[in-house]
Copies of this chain bind each other. A is one copy, B any other.
Amino acid sequence: MTIQRSEGTITINDIARMAGVSKKTVSRVLNAPSTVREKTRLEIQRIIKEYGFVPNPQAQALALRRSTLIALIYDNPSPQYIVNIQRGVLSALKGTQYQIVLRPCDRSEPDYHDKILAFVRLHNPFGLIFVPSVSEDEELAAALRERKQHFVRIASVNTSDRAKQIKTDDAEGGRLAARHLVQLGHRKIAHIHGPESFMSTHQRRLGFIEGLREFDLELAPNMIAEGAYNFDSGVKCATKLLLAKDRPTAIFAGNDEMAVGVYFAARKAGVRIPKDLSVVGFDDTPMVSRVWPAMTSVRSPIQEVGRSAAELLLKTDKLKEGDLKDIPDAVTLDLMVRDSTAHIAT
């Protein structure tokens, strides 16, 4: 029985030997420091620090049936949105041992639940972070809850577990957009919304309609178009709206990708921005400052949302189950209009 010191890598056994205790005691110092006598604990902690010992994640994963992976699960079609979420999550995970793993998914696949569950079963991730629209799948959430799998959802509506969700008040964003355009002097305002399968579509549209109503304005049926939250659909919808007999002087697009599509369609149709048309987007992606003239957009703090989601997930660990009293409700992040070049279209 030789003590096989694998090249350089220091293990819990080494620490135990040096401290003259059993490895279980070291393990206790690592996981439940309060159960070890102070003197022993301090000595062990000193040695741990001195040698920069970090417990091996693979061994922990095997013993605990829980790895250090945090999976980002997304079906959101906007690359910019995903990148921002990633950045936020990364900033929260920096310095921890947790790793962010990418898991795109496709809700239209019949076995998409199975794929996610298979991943969870196989890799035992520490936690999952869901972004819209997959975050709105309550059936999936229920299945994961049953497995006692940690997860946090990013959504614009209240989900079945408000303590474990990050919320953006998209309806308020819609209201802001409406107020902004009306106050610019517009009366004939159109809206290109996202797919009906996204709750954000409903929230943003609802808020927008409410905002118009504050000024006794209605969203006429011929002023509505359904897009797909991507550039091409924005072009298509805007073209339709702009070539119609009764064309709008302002368009509120459900997200920036589509708003840029509106810009493109306007240029093609000879409609001048901002003289003939005002455009408001949603998300405040970098693109808003890259088009010309710079675009007005409802700023949605996507990166902060990602960071908050990851932080909430990590916090879940520290607290014992049921000890979530200090997270009484969904974390909600505020939106604001970032007004770049507001002008009245006449």
Contact = CB atoms under 8 A, between A and B. Distances in A.
Interface of A: 6, 9, 54, 56-59, 61-62, 65, 67-69, 79-80, 82-83, 86, 90, 97, 99-102, 104, 121-124, 231, 260-261, 263-264, 267-268, 286-287, 289-293
Contact of A57 (B79, B122, B289): B122
Contacts of A86: 102
Contacts of A123: 57-58, 68, 99
Nearest to A118: B54
A124 B58 contact: yes
A121 B264 CA distance: 49
15 contacts: A56-B62, A56-B122, A58-B62, A58-B65, A58-B67, A58-B124, A61-B61, A68-B123, A79-B79, A82-B83, A83-B83, A86-B102, A90-B104, A97-B122, A261-B290
A260 B290 contact: yes
A45 B17 CA distance: 44
Given A122-B54, A231-B286, A292-B263, A99 B62 contact: no
Given A58-B62, A69-B101, A86-B102, 16 more contacts: A6-B65, A56-B62, A56-B122, A57-B123, A58-B58, A58-B123, A82-B83, A97-B122, A99-B101, A99-B102, A100-B101, A100-B102, A101-B101, A231-B286, A260-B290, A261-B290
